[in-house]
Structure 1
Amino acid sequence: MPEFTKRVTLAITGASGVQYAIRLMECLIAADVQVLLMISKAAQVVAATETDLSIPGATVAQQAYFTKMFNAKADQIKVFAREQWMAPVASGSGAPATMVVCPCSTGTLSAIATGASNNLIERAADVALKERRQLVLVPREAPYSEIHLENMLKLTRMGAVILPASPGFYHKPETISDMVDFVVARILSQIGVEQSFMPRWGEALLQSDENTPAQD
């Protein structure tokens, strides 16, 4: 079995913005990260609506589909079904130290906040919380209701990171891909995976030969 630099659980749910998840997966594979993947049925519907992707329904076919798409190594992408309770992500003894839900629907947000664990995505997030591991949630909704905000606050207090899919514009994006990259770069930074496609704020000054302090 190949050795990977890191293992990350990635869940894709039915909020708009599946493009973020696809780009994130591409970056993780390129960084030699093993991805333990779960895709909700709603996410498959959104993907068909927002993109030209035709994600298969069966997990085995999904695994082959994404492995081919990203030219991944053998076993670098492992896909698990909605009720595959023997999957490693279902237990603290087998789950990776990092989980990302991208995009995270407000329904999934609510289920995680209440510990519902009605499917493997919800259970994997519950494991991350109970084991005090890294959980990054990427909601995409507008506007947020009081329920959404209360769930985000509750999860933040539990230790999760709420990272909304809210692209910035100070890098002067010219394409939709530039805006997607902004959010994906922030996710990668949170989970400790290096990226080179999005410069960090102030990085140009650190690399500059102009070491003269700014004048007041």
Structure 2
Amino acid sequence: MKQIIVALTGASGAIYGIRALEILRAQPDVETHLVLTKAARATIGYETDRSVADVRALADVVHSDNDLGAPISSGSFRTAGMLVAPCSVKTLSGIATSYDDSLVVRAADVVLKERRRLVLLLRETPLHAGHIRLMADVTASGAIVMPPVPAFYARPASVADIVDHTVGRALDLLGIDTDAVQRWDGDRRPEDGTVHRL
């Protein structure tokens, strides 16, 4: 059984974390541990038709962001990694500086110190130099910063398609293969065989 931590923070894009929980729920060999920040709970209400209770029900285990003594705050609790989706700049800053005043940041810090996978779907644009420094710092510590950038080669027909592809790629980074990703299979050429370059 793979234990995966999923955290939702206050950045826009709550649907990324929600969809990750839905996809992971269908994986028989995965147990999810969910942490919602206070700001994430508000964002769920602003951006989706889901209630916080609906989102909590998607996880196998739910931890309070204030519970610094939760099992996921210790390296002895073995996980396959952690996904922060969406990841706010505040959370990025906490992780980059090991400022463990919340369970999300503490759990991420533990994942890094144990050399496990930490994937951050950073939701911020445009970026200033301070943001870029923080991203460089967490990358140097072993995190993977993955802004949720659409893959248009997959020809998405809806927002749901874009979300699914992004979440599927994030789960790839945690070693979880799903059918949410349309894999690239080479150049897509017109019927006449010519290749058009932009």
- The alignment's TM-score, normalised by the length of structure 1, stands at 0.82
* Residue 162 in structure 1 maps to residue 145 in structure 2: yes
* Residue 178 in structure 1 maps to residue 179 in structure 2: no
Runs of 4+ in 1 over 6 A off after TM superposition: none
Check conservation: 2:120, 2:143, Cα contact below 8 A: yes
- The alignment's TM-score, normalised by the length of structure 2, stands at 0.89
* Residue 15 in structure 1 maps to residue 11 in structure 2: yes
Identity of aligned residues (%): 41
Q: Read off the aligned partner of 1:30 and give its amino acid letter.
A: A
Residues 161-192 of structure 1, C-alpha deviation per residue, up to 9 Å, x if partnerless? 11111112111111110110121111111111
Check conservation: 2:9, 2:84, Cα contact below 8 A: yes
Q: How does 1:67-106 map to 2 (within 5 A)?
A: 67=57, 70=58, 77-106=60-89
- Structure 1 residue 88: deviation in Å? 1.2
Residues 26-73 of structure 1, C-alpha deviation per residue, up to 9 Å, x if partnerless? 1111012100110001001111011111214xxxxx7xx643xx5xxx
* Residue 43 in structure 1 maps to residue 26 in structure 2: no
Check conservation: 2:9, 2:91, Cα contact below 8 A: yes
Cα RMSD of the aligned pairs, angstroms, is: 1.8
Q: How many residues align?
A: 187
Seen in structure 2, the aligned counterparts of structure 1 residues 168 and 204 have a Cα distance that, compared at 3 Å, is: closer
- Structure 1 residue 77: deviation in Å? 1.1
Check conservation: 1:98, 1:134, Cα contact below 8 A: yes
Q: Read off the aligned partner of 1:133 and give its amino acid letter.
A: R
Name structure 2 gaps, 5 residues minimum.
Answer: 189-198
Q: Distance in 1 between matches of 2:62 and 2:186?
A: 37
